[in-house]
Amino acid sequence: MAVETIVESLSQTVGSYHAVPPGEEGAICIRLPMPPGTLPTLLPTQSPTQTPTPTPRPRPTPRPTPQPTPTPAEQTEAGVRLFQSGDFKGAIKALRSAFKKNKDDHRALLYLGHAHLNVGDVKESRKAFDQLIQAMPDSAAARAGLAYLHMLTGKRRDAEREAARALELDKTTVDAHYVIGLIRLDEGAWLKVNEQADAIIKLDPR
């Protein structure tokens, strides 16, 4: 059988052949089909070996130093300072916390009543002054605070009664003189207004 015939037969059954390259007469190139699963694995192009750059580790966040819990007395002092600076809401928060921890802290209760009054919360202010008077019936400051609350809510007779009681307990209670002065001013009793004004100036020349 001629060589060409053999090649043709193979090409039809198991493969194919290529034309004879020029200058290589008689050479035969046979390409057989690859059985399944025998194809070589193509690897990705490998770059030159490089030392991997280490990923920096995040630094741990330092924990804040825990602050000591303020004592009720310290909270009262903080509340008084806030009240004096005009931060009445901040004062209420501090004073309420202080009184919750120490029910005998009458100073916190007094300032709490005035702080509530300054933000217009008459109900809570009255509650604080009533608690204070119940605990300290002879507190001129508590009576004067309640008198001022009555004055602001239009209860002039109640205001005058509590202010007078405060002055009976302590004639140096400036707030009580102030309330009575306002009542006399509303009545048009100018001489009595001047009396109260003189008393206030002597007690608190500022």
Whether the Cβ atoms of residue 88 and residue 118 lie closer than 8 Å to each other? yes
Residue 44 has what pLDDT?
Answer: 46
The whole-angstrom separation of Cα 177 and Cα 143 is 12
Quickly count: other Cβ atoms within 10 Å of residue 51's Cβ.
Answer: 5
Q: What are phi and psi of 16, to 5 degrees?
A: -150, 165
What's the pLDDT tens digit per position in 67-118? 788 898 999 999 999 999 999 999 999 999 999 999 999 999 999 999 999 9
Q: In the Cβ-directed half-sphere of 58, how many Cα atoms lie within 13 Å?
A: 3
Listed range (27-41, 44-58, 95-109, 135-149) with the worst mean pLDDT:
27-41
Question: How far, CA to CA in Å, does 168 sit from each of 18, 147, 162?
Answer: 129, 14, 10
> What pTM value is reported for the model?
0.65
State the pLDDT confidence band at 200, using cuts at 50, 70 and 90: confident
- 141 and 163 in contact (C-beta within 8 Å)? no
Residue 71: strand, helix, or coil:
coil
Q: What is the DSSP letter of 17?
A: E
The count of residues in the chain is 206
Res. 18: pLDDT tops 80:
no
Query: In the prediction, which pLDDT does 26 show?
Result: 43
Residue 18 phi/psi, 5° resolution? -105, 155
Q: Has residue 24 got a pLDDT over 50?
A: no
pLDDT digits (tens, 9 = 90+) for 106-146: 999 999 999 999 999 999 999 999 999 999 999 999 999 99
pLDDT of residue 203: 87
Specify the pLDDT at position 197: 87
Helix, strand, coil shares of the chain as percentages rounded to 5? 60, 5, 40
